[in-house]
Every structure is written in structure tokens, then in C-alpha cells.
């Protein structure tokens, strides 16, 4: 009986040790993920501040800021993969005029995070913006179409359709442009371009002044920005907030 009790005790002790080991492993994985996420977020926010010329980076030239920011974003991505960080990597390359590297980074977003509701469409839009910078209109249209071809409303979809329509009009492809306006009218009733689409398709009247495409001169003579509009609620802020807010991330 005594031997049986000792054997039983050893089994319970072994089971307890195994349970503790499992708990330590789980806690270790949790801590690593939490810690790496915080480190990656901090690096990303430092990169954002550098790219935007905030605080200590304000005295640097734009190209120097972009180069330093790129290094920080790359370290952040190595620490923890996130689509927002890869978007920033692409943006840094774009500022540096390194369009091939920027496009490659944006391709990684759509391939590595295809189901991301926000950043995958954003990557396609930014690809189109780069192609417009380089004068590659057909590739720009292809990127815009990649954003809107799913048949559902997506972030930046109405803007991509509007830019496609105006681009097609400029290329003399009126029938294709009308198809884009039809999609806006049918799919995006809450869009700021909805009334313009109604006017173009003969269903209504747009507001005074109509709409301008990317890079077109306004009535005051200043060119419109070719960059994607800020995400609602994030104007003047990074795509993901700094750890503990801006004060802690400095």
C-alpha cells in the first residue's frame, strides 16, 4: 500500500510539474506577443513622427527624414508584421522617389493581408496613385479596378471609381467612364461623389463646381492633392496610435 501511495504521489507531482510547464509556456508566448506588439508599435510611431517631421526630426530634410523613418518602419515590421507598417514603408519609398520599392511593398500588403478590410484597399489605391505619378495610366486603371472589382462597397472604392471615371474621360473612353459613374450611383449613395455620378448619368444635378480629379487645378489655381484622403477620425494622426498616446511615445 505504501508503494502504491508513493507511486500515486509521484504521478500527481509529475502532472503538476507538466501543468506548470504548460502555463509557463502559455504565459511566455502571451508576454512575447504583447511585448513584441508594444515594441513594434513604438518603432512605428517613431517612424511616423520622423516621416512627418515632428519634434527632433523637424530640422531634417524631407529625404533624410524619409530614409530614417524607413529604417524604423522596417525594424517595426521585423518585430511584428502589420499591414499599416508596410503601408508606411511604401510611403517612405514614395517620398524618396523609389517607386519600384514602394510598389513592391504595396504588393506585399495585398498578398500577405488579402482579407484586411482597410489596408488592402488602401494599398491598391496608393499603387494607382504611384502609377499616375509615373504616367502609367493603364496600370493606374488596373489598380483602381482591383480595388472595386469585388462587387461590394469597400473603403476608398467610391474615390477609386471617381478617379477611374475622370481618367477614362481624359483618355476619350467615355462609355467606360459612364460605367464607373453608374457604379457610384448604384453602390455608394452616401458618397460625396454621389450627386456628381447622378449628374453624369443623367439622373440628377451635381453641386456647383462639380468634382476634380487627382492633380487637376482648382478654380483658385492650386493643384489638388494626389494622395489618399485621411481615414475618417485619423486626420493628423498615424494609422495606428503610439504606445500610450503621443506623450508616452516621444
Highest mean pLDDT among 44-58, 97-111, 139-153, 223-237: 97-111
Quote the pTM value.
0.68
Structural domain boundaries in the chain? 123-216
Please give the Cα distance from 26 to 155 (Å, whole number): 37
Domain 123-216 fold is 1.25.40
**Percent of the chain surpassing pLDDT 70:** 64
For position 244, what pLDDT does the model report? 44
pLDDT band at 220 (very low <50, low <70, confident <90, very high): very low
Cα gap 188→200, rounded to integer Å? 15
What pLDDT was estimated at residue 238? 61
Residues 125-163 pLDDT 10s? 899 999 999 999 999 999 998 877 655 567 788 899 999
What pLDDT, in 10s, does the model give residues 181-213? 999 999 999 999 999 999 999 876 544 444 444
Higher local confidence (pLDDT), 155 or 166? 166
Q: Report whether 113 contacts 83 (CB < 8 A).
A: yes
3-state secondary structure of 103: helix
104 vs 220: which has the higher pLDDT: 104
Phi and psi, residue 217, nearest 5°: -70, 140
pLDDT at 250 over 70: no
160 φ, ψ to 5°? Answer: -65, -40
Q: Predicted confidence band at 3 (pLDDT cuts at 50, 70, 90)?
A: low
Q: By C-alpha distance, which of 178, 176, 183 is closest to 151?
A: 183
Residues 78-93: pLDDT tens digits? 999 999 999 999 999 9
- Residue 120 pLDDT > 80: yes
- β partners of residue 223: 217
Mean pLDDT score, 1-17:
50
Look at residue 112 and tell me whether its pLDDT is greater than 80: yes
Work out the pLDDT band at 65, boundaries 50, 70, 90. very high
pLDDT of residue 105: 97
Mean pLDDT of all residues in 216-243: 43
Q: Write out pLDDT tens, residues 39-61.
A: 888 888 888 888 888 867 677 88
At 26 the pLDDT is 44
Amino acid at each position: 500500500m505504501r508503494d502504491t501511495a508513493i507511486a500515486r504521489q509521484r504521478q500527481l507531482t509529475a502532472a503538476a510539474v507538466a501543468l506548470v510547464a504548460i502555463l509557463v509556456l502559455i504565459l511566455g508566448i502571451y508576454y512575447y506577443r504583447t511585448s513584441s506588439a508594444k515594441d513594434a508599435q513604438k518603432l512605428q510611431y517613431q517612424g511616423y513622427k520622423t516621416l512627418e517631421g515632428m519634434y527632433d526630426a523637424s530640422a531634417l530634410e524631407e529625404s533624410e527624414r524619409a530614409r530614417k523613418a524607413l529604417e524604423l518602419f522596417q525594424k517595426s515590421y521585423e518585430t511584428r508584421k502589420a499591414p499599416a507598417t508596410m503601408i508606411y514603408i511604401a510611403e517612405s519609398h514614395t517620398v524618396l522617389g523609389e517607386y519600384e520599392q514602394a510598389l513592391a511593398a504595396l504588393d506585399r500588403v495585398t498578398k500577405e493581408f488579402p482579407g484586411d478590410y482597410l489596408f488592402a484597399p488602401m494599398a491598391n489605391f496608393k499603387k494607382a496613385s504611384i502609377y499616375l505619378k509615373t504616367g502609367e495610366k493603364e496600370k493606374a486603371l488596373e489598380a483602381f479596378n482591383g480595388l472595386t472589382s469585388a462587387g461590394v462597397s469597400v473603403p476608398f472604392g467610391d474615390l477609386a471609381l471617381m478617379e477611374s471615371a475622370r481618367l477614362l474621360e481624359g483618355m476619350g473612353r467615355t462609355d467606360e467612364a459612364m460605367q464607373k459613374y453608374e457604379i457610384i450611383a448604384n453602390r455608394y449613395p452616401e458618397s460625396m461623389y454621389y450627386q456628381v455620378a447622378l449628374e453624369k448619368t443623367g439622373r440628377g444635378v451635381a453641386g456647383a463646381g462639380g468634382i476634380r480629379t487627382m492633380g487637376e487645378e482648382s478654380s483658385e489655381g492650386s493643384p489638388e492633392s494626389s494622395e489618399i484622403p485621411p481615414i475618417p477620425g485619423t486626420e493628423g494622426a498615424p494609422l495606428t496610435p503610439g504606445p500610450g498616446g503621443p506623450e508616452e511615445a516621444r
